[in-house]
Structure 1
Amino acid sequence: MAGLKHFKMAMDPAIQKLGNMTTTRHKYFRWTPRTARITFMYAVFVPAIFGVVAYQTDGKWDLRAKRKGDLIAEF
């Protein structure tokens, strides 16, 4: 351990290429039907599903001050 310089490592060209690609990805992005579909799913569809489920189950369960054997359903 004494005298070795562990902080000096040989840089892997593949890792450098990957890092450069990820930092400049926005320059080469194109809207295709696939990327539009994926964006729609993550930006609109998934939050809408979570919103619908949240509104349907709003107020149905009360988890505060419950003891063993108490029901959590309030409806």
Structure 2
Amino acid sequence: MIMERLKVGNAKLEEIDMLQEVTKQIEGHTICALGDAAAWPVQGLIRHFRPELERRIRDRADKELLAASG
């Protein structure tokens, strides 16, 4: 799951954009309002914390690179 990988920094940077696109495809395209409601927290996370998500991904990649070279 992308959200789990984002949580630990094990996602790819392009997955942030992919997740944002998926939420836009859900929002406004479902019969049930719960579809929209499910997309909003993810959109808010990306909108407000994108730099932190990207930093977490880069930090994990840097640590893995150091461990591999070390």
Do the two structures share a fold, i.e. TM-score over 0.5?
no
**Bigger relative contact order, structure 1 or 2, given CA contacts below 8 A and separation 6+?**
2
TM-score norm. by structure 1 comes to 0.32
**Greater gyration radius:** 1
Q: Identify, as 1 or 2, the structure richer in helix.
A: 2
